[in-house]
Structure formats: C-alpha cells, structure tokens
Amino acid sequence: MKNKIVLFSIPNYNVVYMPLAVPYLTGYLRSQGLDVIQKDLNILAYDFILSKKYLYRCLKKAKLQNNKKYQQIVENIEKAKEAMRDPEVYKNFDEFSKKKKILEKSFEIICKISKEALRIYGNTFKYEPREYYKKGRRISYKSREGLLESVRNKKDSIFYDFFKEQVIPFLKKEKPVLIGISVFSQTQLVVAFILSSLIKQSQINTKIVLGGNVITRISDILSRDDYLNRKLFSYIDFIIHHEGEIPTSELAKRLSTKNPEFDKIPKLIYKKKGKIIENLEFNITAISQIRTPDFNGFNINLHWTPSPIIGYLTRRGCPHYCAFCDTPFGYDGYYSLIERKTGKRFKIIKKSPAARVLPIDRVVKEIKYLKNRYKSKYFSFVDEELIASFLKIFCKKLIEEKVDIRWECFARMETEFKNKDFCKLIGKAGCMFLQFGLESVSQKVLDYENKLTKVSDYSLILKNTYESGIMNQAFFLVGTPSDNLFEAIKILTFLEEYGKYIYTIRPIIYETSKWSPNAFSAELKGLTIDKNTPDLDIHFDMWKERPKYGMSLQQARIFVKVLELWIRYRHKVNPVTRTYIYGQRLFIGPKLIREFSKIAKPKKIPKPAEKNVLEQFTRIFKKELKKIILISEERFISENIKKEYHNFESLAETEKTELVKKNTYLYNLENKRRLFFDKVYKLIKYRRSLTLDEILDFSRKLQKIDNSISY
C-alpha cells in the first residue's frame, strides 16, 4: 500500500470560496502517483461550530442556556445555513438578510466562551487570535513568542474542540506519513501551530510540513538557527516556502524510504540534530509542472453558496511593480528579494521568467473540464489581475466555444476598458464581478506608487463596466507614502460624482508590506521603522506613525472612517452589497442588487461613534490646514526637493538651480490653495466637529481649485 499524504486547508478563511492552494498541490501530487487525502478544515470547522449541538454546548458553558434570544438563534441555525445554499432565498432580500443575521448572531454565542474573536463584518470574516501580555508587554500572535504562547494555551482556541473531536480521530484512522498544512493568512499561522501541536501531543506517527503564502513571507525569519525556531520546530517538522509542488512531492517520496535524508530538496527548511537547516536549492515551477486544481475530497457542497465557486489561476506572478504591493512576492519568480534582504544565495535549478502564464487554450480546456467535473458554472479567477490583452482573447474564446460560465476576477484600470465594446464583450462572456484597484484619485500619488494607471480614465471605465452588467468593485488605498489628507479627501468628490457607477467601494488603510518595493526603499520614502514590529508580521503597521511626508497611519485610519460614513449613508447599493458576501453576488446579479437597493435601508452607525469620527477628523483637518497655511517658501522648496530628488546634493549646480526655480514656481502656483485653506481655517477654527456635508463641500471646492492649477 502507498504511503498516504494528508493536506489541510485550515481556518480562518471565508466560507463562500473553496481554498485553492491545496487543490493545486493535490493535482500535482496525484499526477505523480501519490496517495493524497485533502480536507478543507475551514468549511468543516464552521459546520461544526455553527451547529445546534455545539452552540448549545457554548450556551451551557456561558451559563446562558435559559436565554430566550440565544435559544431562538440556535434553534434556527441549521435553516440559516441551508438558506445560504438555497438559490430561491437569494432572490428574497428580506429573507436572506434575516438568515444572515442569525448566522452573525451565532458568532456572538461562540465568542461568549472564547478569548478569541470570530465574526462576520459586512462581507468579511474576521478572526482575531488571542494576544498575550507578559509584565505589561504585549505579545502579538504575529511573533514567534506569541505562537509559542498560543500553543501553550491551545485550549483557548475557537477551533480546539473541532480539532480534538474531528481531526485527530480522522488522522489516527488514516495514519498518513506526511501532513501538509497550507498557511495563506497571518491568522492561519496561529491555527496551524495549534493544530500541529495537538497532532504531536496525540502521538500520531507522522511528519508535518507547513507551506503557503505566509510561510514564504516569513521564511527569512523561520530559517534562522536560533532558540525560538528550534522551539517552534518541536511542533512541526518542515517548512516549504514558495510554490510547493516539486518540494512536497520529493519530500513525500523520501519519507517513504528507510532512514530518509532531506538534503537538496528545494525550498525546504527543517531541524536536524537540534539545528535549523535550510536547503538553498530553489526550483521555479514550470508551466508544464502546474496541474489542473483537483478538488476531489473537499466537501464542496458545504459552502455558503447554491453551487460551489471554482477557483482558478491563469498565471503565477504579476507583470507589474506597484510600489505598495507585495502580492506577487509569494510566487517562485521573486526569490531574489529574499537574497537582497538576507544576503543568502539560492542555487537556482533552472531560470524562468518571474510571471509564468498558462496558454489561453489550456485555460479554456481546463475551465470546461472543471465545470463538468464539479457541476458548477461559477468561477473565481484569483490572479492578481487578468490583463486586458488576455481578457480580449479569452472572452472571445469562451463565446465562440459556448462555454457558459459566470465568473469574477481582478483587473487593472487599463485604457482598454474605456472602450464600451470591450466591456460588453467581457460581460457577454459571463464576467459578473470585476475588482479594480483605483488606490487614489490623485495622479501624483499614483505616479509615485508606480501604478501606471490614469485617474482621467477612471470614471469612464467604471461607467462602461457598470453599464455592461458587470458588478464592479473599487479599492482605495489611503495613506501611501506620498498620499496626504488633501489628496485623499478628493476621493469623496469622486464618489459623489461616480459612486453611482460602482457596486462595492472598499477603502483600505495602507500598511507597508514587508516585501513591497516601498519597504526596500523605506528611508528614501520617508517611512520610519518601528522596532517593536512583531518578528513574523508580514506588514510593518507602524512604519507611518511619524512620516517625514504625507499622512500618518493615524490620519489614514480616521479618514477611512469618514469614507465609511459616506459609503454607509450615501452609496445606494451598499446595504445590499454589504449583505451578500462577495462571491454570493454571483448568484443574484446586478439587476437584483439594484432592485433590492430601492428597499434596503442603511444600518445606522451609533450616534456617539459617528460623532467621534467627525470630531477626530475635524481635529486632524484643522492641524493639517494650519501646517499648509504656515509653510514658508523655503521649507516648501526644501521638502519637495528632498522628497523627489534624494540625490539632490550630488546634482550639478545648474540642475540644482533649475529644481529650486521649478519649486518656487510651484509654491506661487499653490497660493490659490493656501488662500482657500486660510479662509476655511478661520471659519472652522473654533468648531469641534464638521458635518459630513461640510467635509464634502471642502472636497469639492479643493478639487475645483486643483483642477484650475496646471502643474
């Protein structure tokens, strides 16, 4: 009999989509003749904890078994879950909302007995692992110390009972030689260690390997031979960073031999004779080695959708280099960033381009296969973006070959979308949900972030996609290094004008991702490093606390709350799109969303919370106005030059004079702005709080002034 491999996707992830990393790996391992059992523990865990039996157990523990309100929730939980899979309920907004509310409330019950938090927030599933304190010092779950604390206190985990009662007995029965756990979010890292420690404690004779996107991002830390890693490696046996097909297959094969050795397995880190060893061999997975994702073994009908949504990747990597983004880093082609950061040198097995693309014919063929195999026409392309040139050919092929699918993807605001026929083609090919990263409505900010998109294209792209029956989503990234309150505030004017052409608006607070181009040039970009950032954090949240230029993290947080107020009260479709969790919208479509938005009312924000946001905003707003009014010509010139020309001192005298001249001109040009700011400041100087309408009015006037200044 062949040795078994068990692969797990773990909580926390949302319950609408099927995880994709494990099915890709399974597809490859099975093609190598390996015996793989894969389980989506996330969906199974949700089914376990959101059951009548478990919820009553929670109520009893919390001594709330006689609470009528909670009893009613528990009694209706199974029906609420069923409703999420019933296409008829999707067509009835009130009914769907009621059922979703029951599910939201049931999380409250679970949290009553836990030190962790789990909830549905709008259409996001939020899980917050426990943080620990030692002598007043916070120990984050994003640190190695925090992971060890979580393992020590594993009974506090929301998922502990599920692992103990369902997963451990399953493993004892299957006796796999290797268990692979996929970690693609920061919170999953904690869950992975809790599960691994439980497996070790249960004395199941098996090896455990962790892999996935987050493991890749922290492999620079986990490869160090130090005390904390040696401790962590008592709960796991291996980690594999970057794309895992070849190394996992090789590892499984070696484990089937007597006295296996693990040298030369690419991308592998492990403990040997008490020391942490890293193999520096590195393979770049070739397109021909990538298999069709294989979902066999997943409980695909447990998700909260009427049919499973099948995930698919058409490429590995991204052809762009936006300065704020580290998304492509998880793929094989970006290993040199690790070399740059750590000084180590990988032994590359075979060079390949950073972004590797599947031929369109193969994509179409596999889509057809997956559609038939899993009896679902719903697809999610999880690529960082489907580029316009790909979309054009791909959509034509889908139409020509009559591949009837409904799908969603990410895209860039490429000029091709300004062509209405192009948008109609995509809509006709079944695209229902397109997510765009607009990031900012300031061209200066976009250029500084190397986004390569034009603000002047945005309105038409949104209108065209909207009118082609595509539910579009706009992401705004607030607080990138060159962003400031007066650039960000213009988003409000943009939304007032074009919000009617957007289905979902998502403002996000900028954090400096550890592997983004911005992180590599942090000093130049005026970002300051907080030494207290937890060692496994894949972001450096605190880097912008005292920025040299632009807005602070605190300002970005407050402004995003103002944007959320706008979205809540002025974006007509928001109450509907907030209710249906992302992929669920594929099952209602744009027509019903618009219809429902006529009856759906926004959920009110509690008055004190709203007041607090507006007061906080007014405080930072006044402060920033004052800064600009008072800025001297000399300071303006020197700051502008420092920000854009890091090598100013080394320039020739003539160039220096030119730059000073250019910035003096800019200072004078902005006089109009300063006069306006001065007027506003005098008017609101003693005001404690502005209204949302007043903020909007300021945004409109500023946009008008800036439009009249030709830079």
Give the footprint of ligand SF4 on this chain (CB under 6 A). Answer: 318, 320-322, 325, 327-328, 384-385, 412, 437
Exposure class string for 335-369: b at 16+ Cβ within 10 A, else e: bebbeeeeeeebebeeebebbbbbeeeebbebbee
Instruction: Say which residues have a Cβ less than 8 Å from residue 535's Cβ, sequence separation at least 6.
Output: 143, 144, 221
State the minimum distance, in angstroms, from the CB of residue 366 to ligand SF4.
22
Q: Residue 236 contacts by C-beta under 8 Å, 6 or more apart in sequence?
A: 192, 193, 196, 208, 209, 210
Rounded-to-integer distance, Cα 139 and Cα 253, Å: 39
Which residue's CB is nearer to ligand SF4, number 130 or number 242? 242
Least Å from the CB of residue 451 to ligand SF4: 7
Tell me how far, at minimum, the Cβ of 652 lies from ligand SF4, in Å: 35
Choose among 574, 561, 583, 563: nearest CA to 603: 574
Is the distance from CB of 273 to CB of 54 less than 8 angstroms? no
| Rounded least distance, CB 355 to ligand SF4, Å | 9
- Give dist(CA 138, CA 490) in Å, integer: 37
Shortest Cβ 414–ligand SF4 spacing (Å): 10
Q: Kindly tell me which of 140 and 473 has the beta carbon lying closer to ligand SF4.
A: 473
CA distance 141 to 129: 7
Helix or strand holding residue 361 (H, E)? helix 360-374
Instruction: For residue 59, give both structure tokens.
Output: 């109520």
Q: Please, what is the minimum distance in Å from the beta carbon of residue 354 to ligand SF4?
A: 11
Identity of the residue, 450 or 597, whose beta carbon is nearer to ligand SF4 in the bound complex:
450
Q: How far is CA 560 from the centre of its chain?
A: 17
User: Closest approach of Cβ 387 to ligand SF4, in Å?
Assistant: 9
Query: Do the beta carbons of residue 312 and residue 366 sit within 8 Å?
Result: yes
Complex with ligand SF4: residue 149 or 414, whichever CB lies closer: 414
Least Cβ distance, residue 244 to ligand SF4 (angstroms): 21
Q: Which is nearer to ligand SF4, 384 or 416 (CB)?
A: 384
Kindly tell me which of 247 and 330 has the beta carbon lying closer to ligand SF4: 330
Measure the CA–CA gap between 654 and 339, rounded to whole angstroms.
39
Q: 99: helix, coil or strand?
A: helix
Complex with ligand SF4: residue 440 or 616, whichever CB lies closer: 440
Cβ distance to ligand SF4 smaller for residue 283 or 480 = 480
Give dist(CA 296, CA 440) in Å, integer.
42
Closest contact distance (angstroms) between CB of 14 and ligand SF4 is 20
The two tokens of residue 245 are 């097909």
Closer of 36 and 413 to ligand SF4 (Cβ)? 413
- What whole-number distance in Å separates Cα of residue 656 and Cα of residue 636? 15
Q: Which is closer to ligand SF4, CB of 191 or CB of 325? A: 325
Decide: 44 and 170 in contact? Cβ < 8 Å.
Answer: no
- Which residue(s) pair with 134 in the sheet? 137
Token pair listed for 473: 């989503």
Which sign does the torsion angle of CA 56, 61, 63, 69 carry? negative
CA-CA-CA-CA torsion sign (634, 637, 643, 647): negative
CB closer to ligand SF4 out of 41 and 323: 323
Residue placing its CB nearer to ligand SF4 in the complex, 237 or 332:
332
Based on the number of CB atoms within 10 Å of its own CB, is 6 exposed (0-12), middle (13-18) or buried (19 or more)?
buried
Q: With contact defined as beta carbons under 8 Å apart, do 450 and 322 qualify?
A: yes
**Using CA atoms, how far apart are residues 429 and 176, in angstroms rounded to an integer?**
43
Per DSSP, 605 falls in state P
Give CA–CA dist 711/701, Å, rounded: 18
Q: Are strands 178-182 and 207-211 parallel, antiparallel or unpaired?
A: parallel
Q: Which one, of 321, 326, 350, 356, lies nearest residue 338 by Cα?
A: 326
The C-alpha R_g of the chain, in whole angstroms, comes to: 27
Strands 356-357 and 315-316: antiparallel
Closest contact distance (angstroms) between CB of 388 and ligand SF4 is 12
Say if residues 599 and 96 touch (Cβ distance below 8 Å): no
Lookup: tokens for 180: 């692979």
Alpha-carbon span 75 to 139, nearest angstrom:
39
In the complex with ligand SF4, the residue whose CB is nearer, 457 or 496, is 457
Q: In angstroms, what is the minimal distance from the CB of 323 to ligand SF4? A: 9
We find the least distance from the C-beta atom of residue 385 to ligand SF4, in angstroms, to be 5
- Asked if residue 409 lies in contact with residue 435, where contact means CB atoms within 8 angstroms, the answer is yes
Nearest distance in Å: CB 597, ligand SF4: 29
Q: How far is the CB of 452 from ligand SF4 (least distance, A)?
A: 8
CB of 326 to ligand SF4, least distance (A): 8
Residue with Cβ nearer ligand SF4 (250 or 408)? 408
Closer Cβ to ligand SF4, 238 or 515, answer by number: 515
User: Minimum distance from CB of 328 to ligand SF4 (Å)?
Assistant: 6
Which run of H or of E encompasses 431?
strand 431-439
Q: How far apart are CB 210 and ligand SF4 at their closest, in Å?
A: 24
Q: Which residues does 11 contact at the CB level (< 8 Å), separation at least 6?
A: 41, 42, 45, 46, 127, 159, 188, 191
CB-based burial label for 531 (10 Å; 0-12, 13-18, 19+):
exposed
CB 262 within 8 A of CB 279: yes
- Cβ contacts of 372 within 8 Å, gap of 6 or more: none
